[in-house]
A and B are shown apart, each in its own frame.
Chain A
Amino acid sequence: MRWKTGEYAGWGRVLRAGGKMARPEKIAALRATLREEKCPAIGNRRSYGDAALNGGGHVIDMTRLDRMIAFDEETGILQAEAGITIGEITRLMAPRGWIPAVLPGTGFATLGGCIGNDVHGKNHHGAGSFGQHVVEIELLGANGRTRRITPGNAPELFRATIGGLGQTGIILSASIRLIRSGSTVMDVRESRADNLDEFMSLLEGSTATYCVGWIDATARGESLGRGILEEAEIREHAVPITEKGAKSVPMDAPRFLLSAPVVRAFNQLYLRRVPPGGRRIDRSMQDFFFPLDRVHDWNRLYGKPGFHQFQCVLPPDSARETLHRMMEKIASSRLASPLAVLKRLGEGRGGMMSFPMEGFTLAVDFPNRRESAGLVQELIDMTLAAGGRIYPAKDSVATAEQFAPMYDERADFATIANAQDPDHRLETDLVRRLKLRSEA
């Protein structure tokens, strides 16, 4: 197998790694590659930080192992190779009346990545996390043996693999349970929230299947935490809608594009799209679930230095107060970009290292300026103090000390991962930074 030598980055492009990458196109080639070099498997590199990086080492890009293997119309269980994207599954299966039970915010995430990060979607409060809909994983161990693990035959290993950041073995394929969908059109209701309190009440009161909020992270004073709530259901029957074509960002954008006045002006206009009394619109699944995928390589809008994303989940009782302080801090930093999301999470989680917990989750992007990493650090400390968690898939600045108290089962996870991979060949930069394989 030929190894490509070069530099690669996480989606946020702040953290980079130099090393060697293989990209097998057949299972036989994957096995041959692993005989040469045992190393972590990565997907489409949609994790923002260093979850898919192995600086100075080797990685295997799984994106060409992307075939659907079997689908059972009775049970809705689809088996596919780990490199297929969740958007491709949706594109192919939705017209037949089936979609994945959980869809993350980008369709470019691979099936293996969705499992390894136990991603969640806009229906988390009802449907739980991605891993809760995985019925079987074909796992290639560091010892070269393949096992088909299920929650029944290997409960602990299964729970360590869901959200396990690739540390228990290489996911070759997985079987996931799809859900029925009547059409590929979403019936979306948009409402304005004038401030954080109103926003949270709307989120708490929502009974919609899919629910997500865009929050204006630049607004201050009485408008602090204002935004737009989107609630949606899949339409029973299709209605005609116009699909927009994909565009791509041809080059790194200049710095002024995300300067504070430009972002504030953009957010104003974005908010005004929705009339004060709200509105109802039909939107394609693609536009509703993967709004940013229409703009390929949108991470280049942050210019060469890249960007950070902060995402936390906060327990419900103290969330209101903590979010208030977080939004104050973010708005006064004048660093926020227009991309900021507030939504409710349920308690569903599929693995030991899964991010979700009952409460509210906030995600905000910051261009990588001198003060950005420090601001995210402070927000992480506030999360920790409030009994919340940060999301490894998004993080690039947390320390092991900040991270450890957020995940109760971290030591158990490390024990299982170390037993599966005793030579520590599957470790990534993130695993080393957050000391996820330390059993202490």
Chain B
Amino acid sequence: MKQSWLILGASSSMARAFARAVAERGADVFLAGRDMDDLQRIADDCRLRGAPCAEALKFDARRPKSFDAINDRLAEQDGMLNVAVFIGSMPEQAAIDANPALIDGTVTDSFTGPARFLQGFVPLMEERGGGTVIGIASVAGDRGRIGNYVYGAAKAGFATYLSGLRNRLTRAGGHVVTVKPGFVDTAMTWGLPGMFLVASPESVARDLLRATDKQRDVIYTPFFWRWIMLIIRLIPERIFKKLSI
């Protein structure tokens, strides 16, 4: 069966690695985001790597008007529709403290924008009786920490949304994978202090493909973050509130 992958936020290095991986498997790829020049480059690259069709599409999480054209284009595709959501934004907590209005954009980029898009897109998948949604949440959403709790809260909201969406899409034969990456070597983490055990975007992409094939529900990538976050979640709140980790 023909597979099409819509990739939201396709300019990020994690998304690029995933787009390449599905292109090498022969899927059609639709690269959605804001920087059309860059998306066109990735589309050319995906085509040369084996995607029969690779197109750049305009998507802006903060402009729901951009959603309809994407739905229309994907509706023309035969076969199974799949979508992977890589968008999110993480302003520094200090910047948010100085300008609380940044919270709106962070929540839109990381949670409500993609949720609103998926809400309109999932019926297309249900009609065809399947497909996979991959949603990139974050370990930051597992517990609110002093350093990035606004981003964490937005990703926690998105993770809960994905859990409900899984409950819904499973009934139609589809599947939702919630992904919680730890530190990944991307432009977002480049040069930040305190990074350790940093994973390459390519290794994350491999984990995403495996989780899709095996229909896993919630994965941490690299896998050991499941245990790190288990420990962090188990710390009692009266102790945790005094920590700065």
Interface of A with B (CB < 8 Å)?
A: 2-5, 21-29, 64, 67-71, 81, 92
Q: Which residues from A are CB-within-8-Å of B197? A: none
Number of A-B contacts (CB under 8 A): 48
Determine if A25 and B187 form an interchain contact, defined as CB atoms under 8 angstroms apart: yes
Inter-chain CA distance A67–B37, complex, in Å, is 13
Q: Is B217 an interface position by the 8 A CB rule?
A: no
B44 and A27 contacting across the interface, CB-CB below 8 Å: no
Q: Can you pick out 12 interface pairs between chain A and chain B where the beta carbons lie within 8 Å of each other?
A: A4-B190, A4-B191, A5-B191, A25-B13, A25-B186, A27-B37, A28-B38, A64-B13, A64-B187, A68-B44, A69-B45, A81-B41
Q: Which residues of B contact A81 (CB under 8 A)?
A: 41
Q: Mark B185-213, 1 if CB is under 8 A from A, else 0.
A: 01100111000000000000000000000
Given the complex, which residues of B lie within 8 Å of A26, measured CB to CB? 11, 35, 38
Question: With a CB–CB cut-off of 8 A, which chain A residues contact B13?
Answer: 25, 64
User: Does B41 contact A27, Cβ atoms closer than 8 Å?
Assistant: yes
Contact with A along B36-66 (1 / 0, CB 8 A): 0110011011001100000000000000000
Chain A interface mostly: mixed
A4: shortest Cβ distance to chain B, in Å? Answer: 4
Which chain B residues have a beta carbon within 8 Å of chain A's beta carbons? 11-13, 16, 35, 37-38, 41-42, 44-45, 48-49, 186-187, 190-192
- Kindly list chain B residues whose C-beta atoms are within 8 Å of the C-beta of A27: 37-38, 41
Using Cβ atoms and an 8 Å threshold, which residues of chain B touch A71? 48
Assembly CA distance A26 to B37 (angstroms): 9
Asked if A2 meets B190 with Cβ closer than 8 Å, knowing A27-B37, A92-B49, the reply is: yes
Known: A67-B41, A68-B45, A92-B48. A25 touches B191 (CB 8 A): no
> Separation in Å of the A419 CB from the closest CB of chain B?
30
B48 contacts which chain A residues (CB < 8 A)? 68, 70-71, 92
The listed residue with most B CB atoms (<10 A of its CB), out of A2, A3, A26, A92, is A26
| Beyond known contacts A2-B192, A23-B187: 13 more, CB 8 A cutoff | A3-B191, A5-B191, A22-B190, A26-B35, A26-B38, A27-B38, A29-B187, A67-B45, A68-B44, A68-B49, A69-B41, A69-B44, A81-B41
Residues of B within 8 A of A24 (CB): 187
Q: In angstroms, how far is the closest chain A Cβ from the Cβ of B9?
A: 12
Which residues does chain B contribute within 8 Å of A2, judged by CB atoms?
Answer: 187, 190-192
Closest A residue to B188 by beta carbon equals A2
- Min C-beta distance of B87 to chain A, whole Å: 15
CB contacts (< 8 Å) of B41 on chain A: these are 27, 67, 69, 81
Nearest Cβ distance between residue B184 and chain A, in whole angstroms? 12
Q: Is B49 a contact of A28 with CB atoms below 8 Å?
A: no
> Which chain B residues lie closer than 8 Å to A22 at the CB level?
190
Would you give the shortest CB distance from A228 to chain B, in whole angstroms? Answer: 34
Chain B's closest residue to A92 (CB) is B49
A348 to chain B, nearest CB (A): 28
Q: Which residue of the partner chain B has the closest CB to A81?
A: B41
- Give the interface centre of B13, B16, B186, B187 by most chain A CB atoms within 10 Å: B187
For the complex, give the distance between the alpha carbons of A92 and B21 in Å. Answer: 12
6 closest A-B pairs by CB: A4-B191, A67-B45, A68-B48, A2-B191, A26-B38, A25-B187
CB proximity of A389 to chain B, nearest CB, Å: 37
- How far, in angstroms, from A24 to B11 measured CA to CA in the complex? 12
Q: In the assembled complex, how far is the CB of residue B210 from the closest CB belonging to chain A, in whole angstroms?
A: 16
Given A68-B48, A68-B49, A92-B48, also A25-B42 (CB < 8 A):
no
CB < 8 Å neighbour of A67 from B42, B186, B191: B42
A111 to B124, CA, bound (A): 42
Chain B residue nearest to A71 (CB atoms) is: B48
Output the nearest chain B residue to A21 by Cβ-Cβ distance.
Answer: B191
Bound Cα distance A26, B13 (Å): 10
Nearest B residue (CB) for A3: B191
Q: Bound state CA distance, A271 and B230, in angstroms?
A: 52
Contacts of A69 in B (CB 8 A): 41, 44-45
Name the CB-closest residue of A to B24: A92
Residues of the A chain whose Cβ atoms lie less than 8 Å from the Cβ of B49: 68, 92
By a CB distance below 8 angstroms, the chain A residues around B190 are 2, 4, 22-23
How far is B38's CA from A188's CA once the two chains are assembled, in angstroms? 42
Output the nearest chain A residue to B195 by Cβ-Cβ distance: A4
